Structure formats: C-alpha cells, structure tokens
C-alpha cells in the first residue's frame, strides 16, 4: 500500500509502457474497451469516515489531503491543461443585498457551451440509452481519480492502480462546463450504465465523499430527471464555494414522530422562511443510517414520478431534499415570460441559493425579490408538499405527530466553526465571493 502527500502532475491518465501502442478503442475513454486497462489513481476509503484520529501518523494521509491536495490540486492541473470549455474563475460573482444572502454568478459560457438535454423531462425514471451521451464516452484525461470503499481502518491513495479483475469503478471527473471552482462529478460504477436514479449504495458513496472533503464549503448536489439533470447516467455534482448557501442558514422546525427520534437517530425537519419547501435530514448512528433514510425517500419520489433535487451539506452531516415542479409548470404555461426569458433552470445549486445567471442584464439587476420569485415557482404548494411528506414518511417508516415545534435555539448550517477558507492553498482570490 502506498500513501503519498502530493499527487504529481499527470501527463496522461492512460499511461502505458508502450505509449505508441494504444489499447482498447484508442481514445482512452471510460468505456469497457479502455477503462479496464487504465492506471488511474485510487483513493481507497476507510470503513467509517466519521471518527477522526487525534493525530496523523506517518502512514496516514493528512486531514486536508483529499480536498486540497488531491481533488483541487488535480482539478487545477486539468484547468492548466485547457480541458474546460471556459474559465469559470473569470466569472463575476456577488452576494445579492438582502436578508437571505442569495449568491449571483454571471456564467455566459455555461449557457453557450453546455451540453443540451437529450431526453424527456416529464419522466423521472428512464432507461439508460447507450446511443446518447454518457460518461463512458468521456476521455480519461478528464478523470481525477477512482473513489472506492476499501473497508479498512485507514484511507490510502494508490498512485497507479490497475482495474484488472475489479468491479465497475467509481470515478471523480471534472465537469467541463463548470459552475464554480473545483466543480467535479462523482460517477458511481461508471461501467454499469446506471441511469440517473438514486439507490442506497450510490448515495452512501456521495456522503463518503462529502465526509472525506471535511469542509462545509464543499457541497455535493443531485438533480433527478425532470429537475434539470442533463445527462441520464448516474452522477452527483460537487464544487467549492467559500460562503454559506442561503438554504443552510434558513430556520427549520423538527418534525416530531410517534416514535420520537427514529431508531437510527436520524431527525427530519422542514425548512421555514425559504421559497422552496423542503425536508432536512440530520444525525444517524453511522453515515449509512443517514444515507439509507434519504435514499429511501428519493426512491419513493422516483417511483412516483416526482422530480427532486438533493443538497449534501456540512461535510455529509446535513441533507436537504427538495421535491419540485418547475418543469411541470413550464409545460402548463404557468411560469411568467419574464422568468422564462432569463433561461435559468432552477436545479440544486439555484434552489440552494447560488443563482447561476446567463445574461449580464440579469446579473446586474439581480435582487432578493427576483431570486425569491424564481425559486417560489419551483416549490410544491403547501397542500401538495404535506401530502408528499406524508408518503415519504410512510416509505421510511416514520409516523408524524400532530404537533410541530420550531427550534429557535440555533441557526444550523452556518459554517462558523470552520477554518478560514481563504487560508487553503488552492483558493485563488478570483474564486472568492465579492461582499
């Protein structure tokens, strides 16, 4: 086993001794033709990422290694090699004045160069179509590393590891049309051709990634089909942004159940004073407890054709679930032309309060009232949300009591106890928010 402190710059993620003799299809893709013969770095996870050692031994990776050295270091390497469609670090970003602190970014490149959606938007579950774009067609130069559960007591990095005889690997790759600094994709079991559909195993892997990053400013997101996912191949998104999202600062009220706190110690709350109605999941004896409860909630939504978005926050300790209906309202002609003209599709990042705007006019005129009005169109009605929440609770084995009490003792989600992100080695000033 090899543990290293720094990943060297990789000339090619498809390195063979006989470089003049290409293997597979010759394109060094992530398909079954090329991936089994690759030598991608492997980040091998320990059994439970939550317990932290009191000190770092000589054979342990440093606590900030995964995010600062491996993920962001390799992301910057791909940026320097010109693999992105535009320079996201040059995009203007500001906090919109107001009580909620919505964040606005002007990202004209994403509008012009992002891959178009190739499937129906009225069905949450659709079969994988190999003829359409999927991640097996991505070049290996876009992959940063494999991300695998090793099941041991320590985490290791294997700088060059073969795939021979292993199951379909999970990989972390750059998003070539990024929204923010460090924007990557987590693609579980890339060779299995899984459609965009959450299951318990894949969701647990996403929580492991958030936990390994160990920063409240590195979040993962998921968009279902019908909720502005653009590729029908299972994936999560993630990036770094050095301010709290508005949704993380919103007040919540815990939803009491007849069992009180669930047996696995996961609590469920609902958002208050926020334009999109949503549920908040926290706690759990183990990371798997939290992952299973949220995944089972998503599975019910998928099975009942209800589009949804998920935000994984606070290093995997806090999960926001948003059933939504914006695409449905669009189809019914219920969204104002003014909002449609902005061409903003409110997916997980917009719902969380990071508004990715495509026109300079909208960016310059961005206001809290505009952000609230757009996101309010995403939300289920109060009656429909209560109905969906009741079904979700039934699916995860909870029975809601009649009374709800607002927890006003603490403002959750604000990363006030975290270290100053501007001190991290890979956070250039151009990526920080303009206050």
**What are the pLDDT digits (tens) for 79-116?**
999 999 999 999 999 999 999 999 999 998 665 555 66
Q: What is the pLDDT at residue 165? A: 55
> Is the residue at 18 inside a domain?
no
- For 324, how many CA atoms within 13 A lie in the half-sphere containing its CB? 32
Q: How confident is the model at residue 208 (pLDDT cuts 50, 70, 90)?
A: very high
Model pLDDT for residues 287-345, shown as the tens digit of each residue? 999 999 999 999 999 999 999 999 999 999 999 999 999 999 999 999 999 999 999 99
From CA 186, how far away is CA 207, in angstroms rounded? 11
Which pTM does this prediction carry? 0.86
> Is the residue at 384 inside a domain?
yes
Catalytic residues: 235
262: its two tokens = 């669930």
Smallest CA-to-CA distance from 145 within 160, 134, 133, 155 is with 160
From CA 300, how far away is CA 431, in angstroms rounded? 38
Instruction: Calculate what percentage of the chain has a pLDDT beyond 70.
Output: 78
Please determine, for residue 355, whether its predicted confidence score (pLDDT) is greater than 70.
Answer: yes
Residue predicted with more confidence, 46 or 374:
374
> Is the residue at 29 inside a domain?
no
Phi then psi for 225, rounded to 5 degrees?
Answer: -60, 145
> Is the residue at 431 inside a domain?
no
Query: Total structural domains in the chain?
Result: 1
What number of H helices and E strands is found in the chain?
Answer: 11, 16
DSSP secondary structure code for residue 54 in this structure: S
> Is the residue at 435 inside a domain?
no
Instruction: Work out the average pLDDT over 64-68.
Output: 93
The CATH number linked to 311 is 3.30.428.70
Q: What is the pLDDT at residue 136? A: 94
> Is the residue at 238 inside a domain?
yes
Q: What is the pLDDT at residue 50? A: 60
From CA 136, how far away is CA 46, in angstroms rounded? 27
> Is the residue at 11 inside a domain?
no
Residue predicted with more confidence, 404 or 194:
194
> Is the residue at 45 inside a domain?
yes
Instruction: Give the domain extent around 383.
Output: 35-410
Q: What is the pLDDT at residue 12? A: 34
Q: What is the pLDDT at residue 163? A: 64
Instruction: Calculate what percentage of the chain has a pLDDT beyond 90.
Output: 66
DSSP secondary structure code for residue 163 in this structure: -
Phi then psi for 272, rounded to 5 degrees?
Answer: -125, 155
Q: How confident is the model at residue 267 (pLDDT cuts 50, 70, 90)?
A: very high
């Amino acid at each position: 086993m090899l543990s290293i402190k720094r990943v060297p710059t990789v000339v090619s993620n498809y390195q063979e001794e006989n470089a003049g003799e290409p293997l597979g299809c010759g394109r060094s893709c992530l398909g079954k033709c090329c991936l089994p013969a690759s030598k991608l770095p492997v980040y091998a996870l320990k059994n439970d990422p939550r317990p932290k050692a009191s000190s770092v031994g000589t054979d342990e990776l440093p606590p900030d290694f995964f995010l600062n050295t491996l993920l962001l270091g390799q992301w910057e390497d791909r940026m320097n090699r010109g693999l992105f469609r535009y320079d996201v670090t040059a995009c203007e970003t500001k906090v919109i004045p107001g009580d909620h602190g919505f964040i606005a970014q002007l990202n004209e490149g994403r509008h012009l160069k992002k891959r178009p959606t190739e499937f129906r938007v009225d069905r949450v579950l659709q079969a994988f179509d190999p003829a359409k774009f999927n991640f097996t067609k991505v070049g290996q130069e876009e992959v940063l590393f494999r991300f695998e559960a090793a099941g041991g007591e320590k985490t290791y990095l294997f700088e060059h590891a073969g795939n021979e005889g292993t199951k379909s690997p999970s990989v972390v790759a750059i998003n070539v049309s990024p929204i923010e600094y460090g924007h990557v994709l987590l693609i579980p079991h890339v060779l299995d051709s899984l459609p965009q559909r959450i299951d318990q195993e894949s969701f647990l892997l996403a929580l492991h990634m958030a936990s390994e990053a160990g920063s409240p400013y590195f979040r993962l997101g998921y968009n279902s089909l019908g909720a502005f996912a653009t590729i029908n191949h299972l994936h999560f998104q993630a990036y770094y942004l050095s301010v709290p999202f508005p949704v993380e600062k919103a007040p919540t009220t815990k939803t009491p159940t007849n069992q009180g706190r669930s047996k696995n110690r996961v609590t469920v709350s609902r958002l208050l004073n926020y334009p999109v109605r949503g549920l908040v999941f926290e706690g759990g004896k183990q990371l798997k407890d939290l992952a299973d409860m949220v995944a089972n909630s998503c599975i019910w939504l998928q099975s009942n054709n209800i589009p949804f978005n998920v935000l994984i926050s606070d290093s995997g300790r806090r999960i926001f679930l948003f059933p939504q209906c914006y695409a449905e309202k669009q189809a019914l002609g219920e969204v104002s032309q003014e909002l449609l003209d902005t061409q903003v599709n409110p997916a997980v990042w917009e719902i969380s309060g990071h508004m990715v705007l495509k026109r300079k006019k909208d960016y310059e005129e961005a206001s809290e009232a505009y952000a609230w009005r757009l996101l309010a169109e995403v939300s289920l009605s109060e009656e429909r949300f209560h109905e969906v929440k009741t079904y979700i609770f039934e699916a995860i084995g909870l029975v809601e009591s009649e009374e709800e009490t607002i927890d006003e003792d603490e403002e959750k989600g604000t990363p006030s106890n975290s270290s100053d992100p501007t001190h991290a080695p890979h956070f250039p000033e151009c990526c920080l928010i303009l206050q």
